[in-house]
Amino acid sequence: MSLEVSPNLVAALSLASRGLHIFPCNPDKTPKVAAWEQNATSNGLNIEVTWQSAPHLMPGLPVGAHGLVVIDADRKPGRADGVAAFDSLCVAHRIDLAGVLVVETPSGGRHFYFRSETAYSNSKGSLPDGIDVRGVGGYCIAPGATLADGRSYRIVAGSWDTLPALPDALASLLREKQPTMTPESRDASSGLVVTDRERAFAKAALADEVSKLTALREGRNHALNVAAHALGTMAAWIDLDTVSKSLWEASIANGYVAKDGGKAAWQTIISGINAGMSKPRQPLAATTPDIDISAMTANAVASAKRKQNKPTVALTSKRSVTLLQGSEIVERPIEWLWDGYLPSGKLTLLAGAGGTGKSTIAFNLTATITNAGLWPDGSRCNTAGNVLIWSSEDDPADTIKPRLMAVGANEARYGVISGTIDEQGLRCPFDAAQDMDELRIAISRIGGISLLIIDPIVTAVTGDMHKANDVRRSLQPIVDFAAEMNCAVIGITHFAKGTAGKNSSDRVIGSVAFRDFARMVLVAAKEEESDKRVFARSKSNNSEDTGGFSYTIEALLLHRGIVATRVVWGEALEGSSRSILSEIEGESAEAGTSKLAQAKAFLLEMLRNGPVASKELFERARETQGITSDTMRRAGKALSIDPRKLAMNGGWVWELPISIKPR
């Protein structure tokens, strides 16, 4: 099959050959995909597939992600001439543009590309009207992109090979004035001896605050101030530059900087840190009283003396119990492969009904790990790692590898457990009950792994998957393996039939031991007769258990007629997994009837004392009862509730009709 070689495809492949990640944009310059920065790629095969079916799409370039800053000088009728203004600015400040990559836009404007090790926002700073900035969290239509009428983004000066660093004179105009921390605040935390425990505590606290901030879409300023204040109290335990930079990046990721501006965000960060520094946290040893372990110590000494007077226990003796004293345990924070979603050294379940694309999600995460790419929430995988896949359902050649190709996974960093060879040289299926020790040896030879995918997890169960003892006995080697190798394990499984509307974790098929053994349960669901899907946290022993992301499954035509699928991530979602899944799955007739009755009872109770704001009703119904918006509306109609506004500019409220109001 021959590809349509469009100018946009040529431009996209040219950029990819330089290692630049690009993504498709519509003719109006808006991204074709929601999570454009996460879905940007330099994989030539993916690019060919995308532009084969849509040659009119233009390649977009995430600017800040490549360590670039672009000055966007507009030239539009009726507006300030940004090109002339930038020329005058360069003359006045003696800014040398030699070697700068200059791209002329279809409207006659100019894009000026510079390298920068400093992260700048998309705020124009002190630049004149008609000039904008594209930095962290921003993108540009890339050079070579062509519109349907033939106009293009063409390079008129410089090249990618001669990109100069952003001149200091220009940087001074972009950089926001950053409030400095007061000497009094710095002195408040000086002169203290910091322990490794306190450093680990502060590091874990920073990761937790950044994770929560990144997922927020409302109340971001207040949350940012609270986070900065809390971390400021630990100023003696952690590098404040790291704190401020991390909070800044979280504010970009959650849209706060784009909405309220970089200056507002930065001032909130600094003022919060300063306020926290004035009230330094007491050392952990002072705030955590020691447990009196003298009795345990005495018992341990007496036991040791008794053992000295006894003969060595024979190997054939009965089993004994070992005890670990609290003082011997070295506490440590949870390590995350994907912060808040995928803990290292733990078992995670990924559950959902058939057709939700659970394996495809796991392969998308594989691509992120093997390339040190971006997670769905926009955070980056810290280091590239190895991934192993143990699948008893999908063929490595016609399913697993094509799907991994579709997401650009690094094939040098993933592998498939294809089986074992016994003492007679015969090939046998891999058996977790017998072969985990050999797997440890094999993994040690490749330098370790970051993730093991077991698809499906019931493959590891010897016995009846509905019996708790069989499941526990079978999963224990998996859990031990994860802890010993310090790798994350994802076990893929299904929802039991007829469980829609129930608590998400309770829907996992088989014994409850599956859910109990897992430290994290992730769930996926699909809307009937639609491509819309959702992914959410259902259970977490070590982080929040709410929130998730929307996603779609996209089919790609690879070479030689091979078709594969990949995940395209969408917007972040808030709420419990039950409410997130209920919104998209709907309800069965039986469940719908009971939910309707539940919603009517909920409304009667909530409205018994008078009108309540619609927004509050819907939020409380979703979060506390798992009742969807559609069910709420049906219940309101059944009770003859007519929503109304309290005032012209007021919000909507619900109120019971007089006929059924309590007397």
Model confidence band, residue 279 (pLDDT cutoffs 50, 70, 90): confident
Cα(525)–Cα(357) distance, integer angstroms: 9
Residues 357-387 have pLDDT tens digits of 999 999 999 999 998 888 988 888 888 889 9
List Cα–Cα distances, 166 to 89, 117, 128, 155, in angstroms: 14, 9, 18, 19
The H or E element spanning position 305 is helix 294-308
Q: Is the model's pLDDT at 606 over the cut of 90?
A: no
Q: Please state the rounded mean pLDDT for residues 297-313.
A: 40
Q: Residues 44-66: pLDDT tens digits?
A: 877 887 888 789 999 999 988 78
Helices 262-277 and 240-253 meet at what angle, rounded to 10? 140
pLDDT single digits (tens) 243-266: 888 888 888 888 888 777 777 788
CATH code for the domain defined by 587-660: 1.10.10
* pLDDT tens per residue across span 318-347: 666 777 777 777 777 888 999 999 999 999
Lowest mean pLDDT among 57-61, 109-113, 289-293, 602-606: 289-293
CA–CA gap between residue 322 and residue 303 (Å, rounded):
12
The confidence score (pLDDT) of residue 3 equals: 43
Please give the share of the chain, as a percent, with pLDDT higher than 70: 86
Residue 627 tokens, joined = 């009742």
Q: How confident is the model at residue 648 (pLDDT cuts 50, 70, 90)?
A: low
pLDDT digits (tens, 9 = 90+) for 176-220: 434 344 434 444 444 457 787 788 888 888 887 888 888 877 778
Contact by Cβ (8 Å): 118, 171: yes
CA atoms within 13 A on the CB side of 641: 29
pTM: 0.56
| Reported confidence tier of residue 302, pLDDT bands at 50, 70, 90 | very low
Mean model confidence pLDDT for the chain: 81
DSSP SS3 for 546: strand
pLDDT score of 81: 92
Query: H/E element holding 268?
Result: helix 262-277
Please determine, looking at this structure, whether the domain spanning 27-35+61-174 carries the CATH number 3.30.2250: yes
What tens digit of pLDDT does each residue of 106-118 get? 999 999 999 987 7
Burial group, residue 295, by CB count within 10 angstroms (0-12, 13-18, 19+): exposed
Asked whether the predicted pLDDT for residue 291 surpasses 50, the reply is no
DSSP strand pairing (347-352 vs 58-62): unpaired
185-189, 237-241, 291-295, 407-411: which has the minimum mean pLDDT?
A: 291-295
- Determine the pLDDT at residue 178: 43
Are 632 and 623 spatial neighbours (Cβ–Cβ below 8 Å)? Answer: no
Q: How far apart are CA 361 and CA 258, in angstroms?
A: 29
For residues 32 and 309, the model is more confident at: 32
Give one DSSP letter per residue of 385-452, joined into a string: --EEEEESSS-IIIIIHHHHHHTT--TTSEEE---EE-TTS-EE---HHHHHHHHHHHHHHTT--SEE
Q: How confident is the model at residue 310 (pLDDT cuts 50, 70, 90)?
A: very low
Q: Tens digit of pLDDT for each residue in 497-540?
A: 777 777 778 888 888 888 888 999 999 999 877 788 999 999 88
646 pLDDT tier (thresholds 50, 70, 90): low
User: How does residue 659 score in pLDDT terms, banded at 50, 70 and 90?
Assistant: low
Is the domain 336-583 a CATH 3.30.470.10 member?
no
